[in-house]
Structure 1
Amino acid sequence: MSQKIILLADDDKDDAEMFCEAWADIDESIVCHCAENGDEALKILQSQDKIPEVVFLDLNMPIMNGWECLKQLKLDDRYKEIPVIMISTSSYKNDMDAAANLGAVCYFVKPNNFNDLKQVLRSIALNLDNGLKEPISDLENKYLHIFL
C-alpha cells in the first residue's frame, strides 16, 4: 500500500490534532503533515520529495493566513494542481466565494463533532486516487460549499 500525504495548515492545535487523529483512524497509509500557518505549510511542501494528494488550509492563521497561502500555491507551477480545501469556523458566503475565486476546490465549515469530521475525511480519503469531485459533491448538502 503506497503512502498518501495530506498537508494541513491550522493554527488551532486542538483542531489539527483532531484532524490528524481522524486521518489515522481512517487510513493508516495516510501521513498527515501539520503546519501552524501558511508560511510553514509552504516550507513543508518545499522540503518534501512527494507532493501531497490534498492540502487543507484554515482561513485565519498568523504570519500567513489561508488566503495568502492559497494564492502562493496557485502561482507556483509545482503546486498549482494540488487540490486545496479551505476550512474554517466561518460560514460567510463572501469567504466561500473568495475561496472559489482563488482556486480552492471546496470550502467546508469545521465540524464540531469528531464523527462528522471522520465522515467528511473518509469520503475524501476513499477517492484521493480517483479525483475528489464526486465525493465532495456527495457531501455538499451537509458540510461543504462546492466549486468544482
Structure 2
Amino acid sequence: MKKEIKHICLAEDDPDDHYLFLDVLTEIDKNIKLSWFQTCEDLLKFLRSTSDLPCLIVMDMNMPKMSGQTCLTSIKKEAKLQHIPVIIFSTATESSIIDMAQKAGAYKYIVKPFSLNEFRDIVREILATTLP
C-alpha cells in the first residue's frame, strides 16, 4: 500500500520558489502540510526539535551558509532523521553534484523546470512518489 504524504518540509531560500511550490501543492491537495525553511540550519533545528517529523523533505542544493549537500549528509547521519526520504529539487545540473547527492542518500534528484506547467508536473511527480 502506498504511504500517503501528509507533511513536507521544503528547504528553499528563494521565496518565489516557495510560493510557487505552495500554490501548486494547495491546488493539488489542500490537506498536505508544508513547512518552509529558508536555510538548512533552520530545517535541521526544526527536525531535531519536533515530534511532527515530515513524510518527505524537498531541498535545494544551492542554499546560503550550509549547502544542501552538507544538510543532506547531516540528515542521513542522524538516526532520528535518516529514514525520511529527501528529494533534491535544484537548478544544479552537473552530473558530479547529482552523483554526490545520490551517494549521500538523496531519494531522488529533480532539476527545477523553467515553466509553470513543468513545475506543476514535477510537484505532482513528487506527490506520487512511493515512499519507503
TM-score with structure 2 length normalisation? Answer: 0.89
Superposition deviation, residue 33 in structure 1 = 0.7
For residues 110 and 52 of structure 2, what CA distance do their matches in structure 1 show? 25
Is 1:35 the counterpart of 2:37? The answer is: yes
Query: Aligned AA for 1:27?
Result: D
Question: Is contact 1:124-1:132 (8 Å) kept?
Answer: no
> What's the offset of the Cα at 1:55?
0.4
Q: 1:24 aligns with which of 4, 16, 26?
A: 26
**Aligned-residue offset at 1:60:** 1.2
Higher relative contact order (CA 8 A, sep 6+): 2
Shift of 1:23: 1.0
Larger deviation, residues 111-120 vs 85-94: 111-120
* Cα distance in 2, alignment partners of residues 126 and 88 from structure 1: 19
2:47 maps to which of 41, 45, 48: 45
1:12-37 Cα deviation digits (max 9, x unpaired): 11111111111111111111111011
**Equivalent position of 1:142 in the other structure:** none
Task: Give the secondary structure class of the aligned counterpart of 2:43.
Answer: helix
Q: Which residue of 1 aligns with 2:102?
A: 100
Normalised to the residue count of structure 1, the TM-score between the two structures is 0.80
Give the % identical residues.
34
Q: CA offsets per residue over residues 74-126 of structure 1, 9 Å max, x none?
A: 01111101110112112111111011110001111111222212212223324
Query: For 1:34-73, what aligned pairs fall within 5 Å after superposition?
Result: 34-73=36-75
User: C-alpha distance in 2, partners of 1:3/1:29?
Assistant: 10
The residue matched to 1:87 in structure 2 has which SS?
A: strand
Secondary structure of 2:118's aligned partner:
helix
Residue number in structure 2 paired with 1:140: none
Q: CA RMSD in A?
A: 1.8
* 1: CA distance, partners of 2:73 / 2:96: 17
Cα gap change, 1:38 to 1:17, in 2 (>3 Å): same
The worse-fitting range, judged by mean Cα deviation, of 107-116 and 26-35 is 107-116
Matching residue's letter, 2:40: G
Which runs of 5 or more residues in structure 2 are unaligned?
A: none
**How many Å separate the matches in 1 of 2:96 and 2:45?**
29
